[in-house]
């Protein structure tokens, strides 16, 4: 009993479990007296140490354990029941052990349990102690200084009483007095053969009315288990009180814990991949798990609860094996529906695609092909439509180039100002525009050059530059080309008229600076080469 209570105390911590009291029951009669006394005391909730036909050493060991129990539990009540062979002397008494042989006063402490010691230990009870002595008649021989029986006078400690009588009367009387509310006077009326000694209030009940410490300890232990709310706590309660007042409730709580949804799911030991599969199934059914990562966080728990509620199950947010299978089956059905819906949608789109192609692009004309691509840029016939459009565009470019070449050849064949002007009018972006403009300028009559303004007196360097330009013998077309090239370079030569005025000279000087030539404002051979070569390179590139 003490071992079980220790387990309960270890589990329930502050919940203190205290027995009704501590009892020692020793018998040497080999009958039922000892077991009956033990049953009576344990029923009322005493912590009982007991033994039958023990040796002296064994009896002392049991007395020592009883003493430790009294100290550990601060026992309110102590009951000691000794039935067997007793020996007495002028100064004391002993209960003899089963191994005692012809005990004598000089050796009796080694062959029996000294009663004074028993009384002293019983006196440590907080409220009261009773020592029940049931003497068994024996033909045993005694040595010097001892005789059979119990002493007639006792020097009892305060709070300790003695009840003497035959073993059977002792057991019957113990059963009477251990009923809560029973007084010693009631015991004597019912068992007149018993003798009570000691300074005790015979009118007071040894155990008060309503005395049920075992029931209270049972309830305290159960309340502590309820507070802990773990399977281990309820199992510890049942270990201490296998037939307790709350045993059935404790078993029900254990069953509740074992069948708790979170515990059932945990017992499945789901792998990361299995958890991902569950999240995918929930997502297929339209429940947001906030990710498919194999971690059952608040999002997944909420999704599970939503699914459970939708199918009429308790929304625990935890799954058992049967629910996982049901979820997978429902998700598979929904996936099949989605696939069928997607297939029907694709078929409808493909049908519309083909019908629109038949009405537009199938004819092969450019408007129909572009109309098809506008609606179905990634359609079934999109590649074919683009290929046909590219071919149409290539054919159109080739036809346009052929017409351009034909127009140019016609202009060259006529080789007149009018023919080149007609070409430039009809083909402003044509391939031969620059050549046409050059030929046009060559065939236009050169305007009479305006008289040069009276020059300012020039220095030797300017005179030399002017002479170098004159030596080139620049004709009107060449002058026009120079001005055009200057304009093409972003330099403003003034009107392109073949007349090198002051603005033209400024532009020539800027060109010389750009080509890293000496800046004179007059054309020399180096500048002419740079301008003409770059001009013709652009024409024929």
Domain spans in the chain, listed from the N-terminal domain onward: 1-19+212-258, 21-197, 263-338, 360-444, 460-540
Return the CA Rg of the chain.
63
Q: Are strands 128-135 and 46-52 parallel, antiparallel or unpaired?
A: unpaired
The model's pLDDT over 14-27, given as tens digits with 9 standing for 90+, comes to 333 445 789 999 99
**Average pLDDT of the chain to the nearest whole number:** 86
- Asked if the model's pLDDT at residue 261 lies above 80, the reply is yes
- Asked if the model's pLDDT at residue 11 lies above 50, the reply is no
Percent share of the chain, pLDDT over 90: 52
Question: Helix or strand or coil: residue 340?
Answer: helix
Assign 4 a pLDDT band (cuts: 50, 70, 90). Answer: very low
Percent share of the chain, pLDDT over 70: 91
The answer to whether residues 285 and 306 touch, using CB atoms and an 8 Å cutoff, is: no
The answer to whether residues 233 and 12 touch, using CB atoms and an 8 Å cutoff, is: yes
Q: Which tokens belong to 426?
A: 């009809």
Summarize the confidence of residues 185-209 as an average pLDDT.
88
Assign 402 a pLDDT band (cuts: 50, 70, 90). Answer: very high
Q: Quote the pLDDT of residue 16.
A: 38
Q: Quote the pLDDT of residue 306.
A: 96
Question: Helix or strand or coil: residue 132?
Answer: strand
- Asked if the model's pLDDT at residue 3 lies above 70, the reply is no
Q: Quote the pLDDT of residue 317.
A: 93
Please report, to the nearest 10 degrees, the dihedral formed by the alpha carbons of residues 400, 404, 409, 414 taken in order: 130
The model's pLDDT over 328-377, given as tens digits with 9 standing for 90+, comes to 999 999 999 999 999 999 999 999 999 999 998 888 888 999 999 999 99
Q: Which residues pair with 88 in a beta bridge?
A: 93, 147
- Asked if the model's pLDDT at residue 10 lies above 50, the reply is no
- Asked if the model's pLDDT at residue 257 lies above 80, the reply is yes
- Angle value at C-alpha 90, between 88 and 91, nearest 5 degrees: 90
Give the single-character DSSP code of 205: B
Q: Which tokens belong to 467?
A: 């002479």
The model's pLDDT over 453-467, given as tens digits with 9 standing for 90+, comes to 555 566 888 888 988
The model's pLDDT over 27-73, given as tens digits with 9 standing for 90+, comes to 975 557 788 889 888 878 889 999 999 999 999 999 999 999 898 87
Question: Helix or strand or coil: residue 18?
Answer: coil
Tell me whether residue 442 is exposed, middle or buried, using C-beta atoms within 10 angstroms of its C-beta: 0 to 12, 13 to 18, 19 or more: middle
Cβ-proximal residues to 410 (8 Å cutoff; 6+ apart), any chain: 419, 423
Summarize the confidence of residues 170-178 as an average pLDDT.
91
Span of 12-16, 32-36, 306-310, 536-540 with lowest mean pLDDT = 12-16
Assign 127 a pLDDT band (cuts: 50, 70, 90). Answer: confident
**Helix H or strand E encompassing 84:** strand 77-84
In angstroms, the CA 344 to CA 41 distance is: 84
CA 532 vs CA 481, 529, 535: distances in Å: 8, 5, 5
Name which residue leads in pLDDT, 30 or 516. 516
> Which CATH code of 1.10.30, 1.10.3470, 1.10.10, 1.10.101 fits the domain covering 263-338?
1.10.101
Summarize the confidence of residues 480-492 as an average pLDDT.
89
The answer to whether residues 484 and 496 touch, using CB atoms and an 8 Å cutoff, is: yes
- Angle value at C-alpha 185, between 179 and 188, nearest 5 degrees: 90
Q: Quote the pLDDT of residue 213.
A: 67
Tell me whether residue 342 is exposed, middle or buried, using C-beta atoms within 10 angstroms of its C-beta: 0 to 12, 13 to 18, 19 or more: exposed
**Helix H or strand E encompassing 198:** none
Q: Quote the pLDDT of residue 216.
A: 67
The model's pLDDT over 408-453, given as tens digits with 9 standing for 90+, comes to 999 989 988 888 889 999 999 988 999 898 988 888 776 655 555 5
Q: Which tokens belong to 67?
A: 């003493």
Tell me whether residue 237 is exposed, middle or buried, using C-beta atoms within 10 angstroms of its C-beta: 0 to 12, 13 to 18, 19 or more: buried
In angstroms, the CA 489 to CA 507 distance is: 10
Question: Helix or strand or coil: residue 136?
Answer: coil
CATH number of the domain located at residue range(s) 21-197 in this protein: 3.40.50.1460
Summarize the confidence of residues 77-96 as an average pLDDT.
92
Q: Quote the pLDDT of residue 446.
A: 61
- Residue whose C-alpha is closest to residue 83's, from 132, 146, 149, 142: 132
């Amino acid at each position: 009993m003490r071992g079980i209570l220790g387990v309960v105390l270890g589990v329930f911590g502050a919940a203190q479990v205290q027995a009704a009291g501590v009892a020692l029951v020793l018998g040497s009669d080999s009958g039922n007296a000892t077991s009956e006394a033990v049953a009576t005391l344990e029923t009322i909730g005493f912590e009982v140490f007991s033994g039958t036909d023990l040796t002296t050493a064994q009896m002392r060991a049991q007395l020592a354990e009883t003493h430790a129990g009294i100290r550990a539990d601060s026992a309110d009540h102590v009951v000691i029941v000794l039935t067997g062979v007793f020996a007495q002397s002028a100064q004391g008494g002993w209960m003899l052990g089963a191994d005692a042989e012809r005990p004598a006063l000089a050796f009796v402490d080694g062959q029996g349990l000294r009663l004074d010691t028993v009384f002293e230990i019983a006196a440590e009870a907080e409220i009261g102690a009773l020592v029940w002595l049931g003497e068994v008649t024996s033909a045993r021989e005694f040595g010097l200084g001892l005789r059979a029986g119990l002493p007639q006078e006792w020097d009892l400690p305060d709070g300790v009483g003695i009840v003497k009588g035959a073993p059977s009367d002792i057991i019957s009387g113990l059963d009477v007095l251990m009923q809560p509310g029973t007084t010693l006077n009631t015991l004597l009326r019912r068992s007149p053969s018993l003798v009570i000694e000691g300074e005790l209030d015979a009118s007071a009940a040894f155990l008060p009315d309503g005395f049920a410490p075992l029931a209270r300890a049972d309830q305290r232990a159960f309340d502590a288990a309820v507070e802990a709310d773990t399977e281990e706590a309820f199992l510890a309660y049942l270990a201490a009180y296998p037939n307790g007042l709350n045993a059935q409730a404790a078993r029900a709580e254990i069953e509740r814990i074992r069948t708790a949804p979170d515990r059932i799911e945990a017992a499945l030991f789901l792998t990361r991949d299995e958890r991902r599969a569950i999240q995918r199934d929930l997502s297929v059914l339209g429940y947001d798990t906030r990710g498919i990562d194999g971690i059952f966080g608040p999002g997944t728990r909420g999704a599970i609860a939503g699914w459970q509620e939708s199918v009429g199950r308790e929304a625990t947010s935890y799954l058992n094996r049967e629910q996982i299978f049901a979820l997978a089956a429902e998700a598979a059905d929904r996936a099949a529906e989605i696939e069928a819906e997607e297939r029907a949608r694709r078929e409808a789109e493909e049908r519309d695609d083909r019908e629109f192609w038949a009405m537009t692009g199938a004819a092969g004309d450019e408007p129909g092909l572009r109309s098809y691509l506008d609606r179905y840029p990634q359609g079934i016939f999109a590649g074919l439509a683009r290929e046909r459009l590219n071919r149409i565009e290539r054919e159109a470019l080739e036809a346009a180039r052929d017409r351009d070449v034909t127009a140019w050849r016609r202009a060259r064949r006529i080789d007149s100002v009018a023919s080149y002007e007609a070409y430039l009018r009809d083909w402003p972006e044509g391939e031969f525009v620059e050549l046409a403009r050059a030929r046009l300028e060559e065939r236009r009559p050169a305007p009479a050059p305006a008289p040069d303004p009276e020059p300012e007196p020039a220095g030797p360097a300017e005179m030399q530059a002017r002479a170098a330009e004159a030596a080139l013998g620049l004709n009107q077309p060449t002058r026009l080309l120079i001005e055009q090239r200057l304009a093409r370079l972003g330099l403003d030569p003034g009107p392109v008229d073949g007349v090198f005025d002051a603005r033209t000279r400024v532009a020539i000087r800027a060109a010389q600076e750009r080509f890293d030539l000496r800046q004179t404002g007059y054309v020399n051979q180096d500048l002419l080469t740079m301008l003409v070569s770059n001009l013709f390179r652009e024409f024929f590139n």
